[in-house]
Structure 1
Amino acid sequence: MKYFFKRAYILVLIITLVFGTINIASVNVKADKYVPALYAKDINNNDIKYTFKDGTLIAEGKGYADKSYSCRKKDIKKIVIKKGIKGIADYAFSECKNIKSISIPSSLTDIGFCAFYNSNLPTLTLPKTVRRIGAWSLTTNKPFSITMPGDFKLVWNDYLEEYERYISYGFKKIKLNSPYKPENKTQFASDSIYTMKNDPKYKSYKGTIYSKNGKTLVQVPAHTKHVKIRKGCTRVLESSLLYFGTTEEDGNVTFLNPKTVYIPKTVKKIVNDIKEYVNFDSKVKWTIKTKKLNGRSIELLCNIMSNSQRKKFLNSPNSRTIKKYNGMIITRSGILVRYTGKRKTLKLPSIVKRVGFNAVSSNKLKKLVLNKELKSIGAAAFNGCNHLKTIVWNKKLKKVEDDAFSDCDFKTVKITSSVRKWGSYVFAYNKSTKIIIPKKMKKIPAGMFIGNRVKNLVIPKTVHEIGNDSFADAKNKTITIKNGVREIGRVAFFGGDYTIKKVVIPKSVKKIGGYAFNMSAIKKLIIKNTSIKIGENALYSVGLMDVGKDPAKYFTYTYLSSMGTRFYQIAFFKVKGASGMEIEVSQKPNYSNPVVKKTVTNETGYVEIETPEEGFKYLRIRVYTINKNKKIFGPWKKISLL
């Protein structure tokens, strides 16, 4: 879900950070002193000396090499960073398109945002001492070969979406000089990857990562066109093929886009270690020699294949299917891996113990009857069955995974009490008009009822937590939250197309997550717990806040958000009975000589504060009322810096 308001002011911030102060020739403007930044935080007392001669830039001293010589970036051909320098600051050598060589010392630990962005790098060696690398830092004009640590930590700005959190979109060859870490899999997009010789857990075979003993496939390089799993490999991690990059337009996509995939006779198991799935292109040619795959492995392999390839595989003797019945394909272990029938009612036969991932695809199906032995329903199992409106539950069902019944037609959702583990978005976008929640359900999972159409929504007292997104994008006339609910998650009621006169947050609620009621027009919000924690933009569209008879006793509900290294935004809401609020910012815990002191009137809005270059540590706020022209203040409330 995208947050429009956050992205708007972030865009302004990005433009300011990238282009800096604009000097207009006709106006005499004194430029601010340049202060370098690392990961968007100011670097003070940077002690670096630069020498530039005959195209060679030498940086020496203590601190971080920065973009002091950006005006000569077209002339820089060689960069020498001397020992003692700790890091490379944000944008330090971006747009340097004529670099022939770079020398980096063993003292280096950090590489900032966009450090070499849009530059030309022939090759690069990063010492194993580098612990943190900023997003986009190695995104260059052309892929290049690199020697680098395998166990670094990626650092990114909060405004970057998930699909933007990469150091580079691709290398030629990667040679690791410290242990390979699977968590960095998406950062190693390349033609080939080679582990260090003494890596304790992993080993490279022809540029592909396996476990040390060669029996588990861990990562196929992203640029591989012909995937051939080595003979002797017995286990294949799904993430070895489907490690994800994401795009704003298309959702999840895999980095790997091969032409052929070869699985040898020795492979016995496909291991599920990812949550999101995509299919390989229908043009991918699969050669599957193994006849040893169990039912779960067959299900997982089908998840990766296109529809046409899946159909071909399931009709082959290698798939070990045991029965085809009324359009169902069932493995020997009892997993329904595919149903393409046209029946209006689907009764699962007794052999079925699990409905697999994305197994059922039917626009005719209206009723589902579970057998007595069914224990689990896989992710997206019935996703998109847009006429399915009735389900007969059993008593043995224990697990229902993500999106299992999303985009179906359940007008009434009656949750079974037998399920111990629910995934997220299970009944998303069903446009349900009635929801029955059992007493045993203590947490409503993320996105569970997103897009519902329940006129008078009631969250029962037996529910302790309302998950993220759980009732977002809905159309409700009233929302009743019973005393017993303890936490309301992020964007829980976000984006609803409705106007509600009043919502009461009971005393039991201790926390409201960010954007929880954002875009939901609530005329009046009554909060019973005056020590409640409110997340960023949680109550954006609330008209009036009611915190009790004596508002001066309590802290007004606010959030604090960073707008860069020196600017903060404090939001506040109109509080019934209050006259205004007073804000103080200080470097000292006793607030003597505050650096910022402001008084704001009692209206919903926000105030921006600018802090000194060295920042600040302490911020507090208090409410006041006016009685006979005299201000009566409530107690100070400290605000934690987000």
Structure 2
Amino acid sequence: MRKSLKVLLAASLFVFMFAAAAPETSIQASKSRTSVTYKLKKGTLTISGKGKMPARMKFRKNKKIKKVIIKKGVTSISKEAFMGCKNLKSVSISKTVKEIGWYSFSGTAIKKITIPSGVKTIGQEALGNCKLLKNVTIPGKFKLKTMPYDDKAECITDDDIGHIDMVTFNTKLSISNVSYLAAKNFTVKKDDPNFRSIRGVIYTKNGKEIVRVPSARTELVIEDGCTDFHMQSVLYYSEDSEGDFVNGCDKLKKITIPQSVKRIDNTKYKTSSYFNSEVPVEHVAVNTKQLDGHSISVLINSLNFIGIKDIASQLPEQITFDHDMYITKDKVLLKYIGKSAAVSIPDGVKSIEERAFYDCSEMKTVTIPQSVEMIEKCAFKYTGLTKVDLPLNLKEVSEAVFYGCSKLSSIKIPDSVAVIKKEAFNDCSSLKTITFGKNLKEIRGNAFAGTAWTELVIPKNIRKIYKNAFVSCEAAKKVIIEGSTKNISANAFWLCPKLTITYKASPKNYQTCIDLYERDYIKNGKSKIKFGWTKLFGVSGYQIKLSTDKKFKKNVKTVTAKKTAKSKTVTVKNKYKTEYVKIRPYKVVNKKKVYGRWSSDSL
């Protein structure tokens, strides 16, 4: 009996000592729903079994691990699994693995790694802080899994700790995934149907278009034979939770453009919302004479440290300088550098390019010839314009084209214009008179935000108005909408406190903008929801529904409001859950209520 007790105590002591020596939070198969186990022997850690590696199976900062083998049957590598294992130099991953967690190999001493082609999900910074890492083989198509909220980072490798010599993609490439990897060279799969690698840079399959430049490059020499320089090849980037650059081309100093290049654009192969890059290019050698004016403009406006003088001096046959204006031989106005109060653009100019008059605060008036068909975004942003007559053949009103022109008092949109793009007249705080053209179809977000008009007519030809198109127009008092509201956002006139909307179409088109103000908690698990809406002319009342479910199927409460009301406070049996509110106006026609469209919000 005593012998048996001694054996039992000895076994218990052994188990205790083993558990104390085991990696922090590691687990055995007996505590997992999978059959995955591990074995550490002479510096080699072997993960074997079938199924996912348990989330708690982690070996963080384990100094004994020098090699890791993930055996066939294991389908995942848990997040932070080998994080900080600074002596880990070799990794072998089975083809059965489909998922690799975030920070899984971060801070290790690996020099190379092959991630099997079957891996579908890779966590952020899975290979972060690997100072010795030089070669990575990885799928071209995978889903990046990021951490939530403030810990989010759209990258797999770091761009500030060493640089990987080569990233080799072992499957068809999804171009957005390139931005997650900092490297000096990229190699795509030979049978990739869309792309090829030339000296470590990614081009289209035929080599005619440059698509991605490795972020660790300091100099780019575009291959002779390439005809299309896509600026997104260097402007691409990923970001962290604060919007800072991660793995962007932040080392690039010089670009050489060969004689074969005919076009430059900044939209194709775009994977971020960024256009004007912090890429620190200090010199661009332009060896081509085939660029049109728009291409030259894109080049200048895509790189912050490259100015018009730098490019014009290299292209004297294509760019002339007269009356403080740089104009190309194909009649594109690139830049005005004068300080006149009255500016006259030469007749024959067809296009006014991006930022051509940007921040020309001295300019009060501009004469635009009828030959102009295109005015690019931000062309007159932050100018001192008080008046402008748009040419009759203008195709569109571009994005932010008159943004911040605080002295502009009136604008007439020509009949030729079909679209007013976002932020076109944003913050034109003196803009009181707006006349829409007969063929205008769309007004996009924030197009007239913060303007000073008091009365406005939306004609039938305007079929679509985006959210916040007229937001924060505090002087607005009256809007008449003549046509259908099917594609007019209920929030088009949000935060216009004095506004009354009149509809000329059927009451079925009526809609108002709802704005939730506040929530006050009261006794017994109840709370008061206070909200308001934009006043409508000619309605008989409003129907309002509240619910804890955005589909309005749970805890629904229905109330009404009089036609003269602009706000309401409702008590609900809900103290902590999100409260969804929607409202629709109605009009009594032949003793029947005809309801308009719902608009909604949540608090």
1:556 alignment counterpart? 546
The correspondence of residues 157-176 of structure 1 with structure 2, limited to 5 A, is: 159=149, 164-170=153-159, 172=164, 173-176=166-169
Indicate conservation of the 8 Å contact 2:93/2:116, yes or no: yes
**Matches for 1:126-275 after TM superposition, within 5 Å:** 126-140=115-129, 142=131, 144=133, 145-156=135-146, 159=149, 164-170=153-159, 172=164, 173-246=166-239, 255-272=249-266, 273=268, 274=270
Choose 336-345 or 60-69, whichever is displaced more: 60-69
8 Å Cα contact 2:186-2:214 kept in structure 1: yes
Do the aligned partners of 2:48 and 2:74 also contact (CA within 8 Å) in 1?
yes
The answer for the alignment partner of 1:345 in structure 2 is 342
Separation of aligned partners in 2, 1:467 and 1:150: 36
Q: 1:549–1:375: structure 2 CA closer, same or farther, 3 Å change rule?
A: closer
Amino acid paired to 1:298:
I
Q: Kindly indicate whether residue 403 of structure 2 is the aligned counterpart of residue 403 of structure 1.
A: no
In structure 2, the CA distance between the partners of 1:397 and 1:491, relative to structure 1 (3 Å rule), is: same
Alpha-carbon shift at residue 184 of structure 1 (Å): 2.7
1:59 and 2:47 matched: yes
Residues 313-361 of structure 1: CA distance to partner in whole angstroms, max 9, x if unpaired? 2133x25435333111111111111111222222322221111122223
Once the two structures are superposed, residues 77-108 of structure 1 have per-residue CA deviations (whole angstroms, 9 ceiling, x without a partner) of 43332223333344444454443222222122
Task: State how many pairs are aligned.
Answer: 516
CA distance in 2, matches of 1:458, 1:90: 57
Q: Answer yes or no: is the 8 Å Cα contact 2:150–2:242 preserved in 1.
A: no
Contact 1:46-1:64 within 8 A present in 2 as well: no
Q: Does 1:125 align with 2:114?
A: yes
- Alignment partner for residue 389 of structure 1, among 361, 386, 391? 386
Query: Contact 2:501 / 2:534 at 8 angstroms: preserved in 1?
Result: no
Q: Which residue does the alignment assign to 1:603?
A: 572
The alpha carbon displacement at 1:148 in A equals 0.4
The amino acid that maps onto 1:441 is L
Map of 1:371 onto structure 2: 369
Q: Among 351, 354, 377, which residue is 2:351 paired with? A: 354
Seen in structure 2, the aligned counterparts of structure 1 residues 94 and 449 have a Cα distance that, compared at 3 Å, is farther
After TM superposition, give the deviation of residue 225 of structure 1 in Å.
0.5
The answer for unaligned runs of 5 or more in structure 1 is: 1-33, 37-44, 523-539, 562-569, 578-600, 610-619, 624-638
Cα pair distance change 1:154/1:86, threshold 3 Å: same
CA RMSD in angstroms, aligned pairs only:
4.4
* Bigger-Rg structure (1/2): 2
Structure 2, unmatched stretches of 5+, are 1-24, 520-528, 562-569, 584-599
Deviation string 1:539-573 (CA, Å, 9 cap, x unpaired) is x972589999896xx85366649xxxxxxxx9988
For normalisation by structure 1, the TM-score amounts to: 0.68
Cα distance in 1 between the residues matched to 2:574 and 2:417: 44
| 1:177, distance to aligned residue in structure 2 (A) | 0.7
Q: CA 1:282–1:103 in structure 2 vs 1: closer, same or farther (change >3 Å)?
A: closer
- One of 61, 67, 71 as aligned partner of 1:82: 71
Q: Distance in 2 between matches of 1:147 and 1:509?
A: 58
State the one-letter code of the partner of 1:429. Answer: D
SS at match of 1:261: strand
Which residue number corresponds to residue 286 of structure 1?
A: 284
Which letter does structure 1 place at the counterpart of 2:366?
L
Alignment of structure 1 residues 515-526 onto 2, 5 Å? none
CA distance in 2, matches of 1:48, 1:485: 59
Instruction: Give the TM-score, by structure 2 length.
Output: 0.72
- Paired residue secondary structure (2:176): helix
Change (3 A) 1:491 1:307: farther
- Paired letter, 2:34: D
Note if contact 1:204-1:210 (Cα within 8 Å) is conserved in structure 2: yes
Q: Is the 8 A contact 2:516 2:532 kept in 1?
A: no
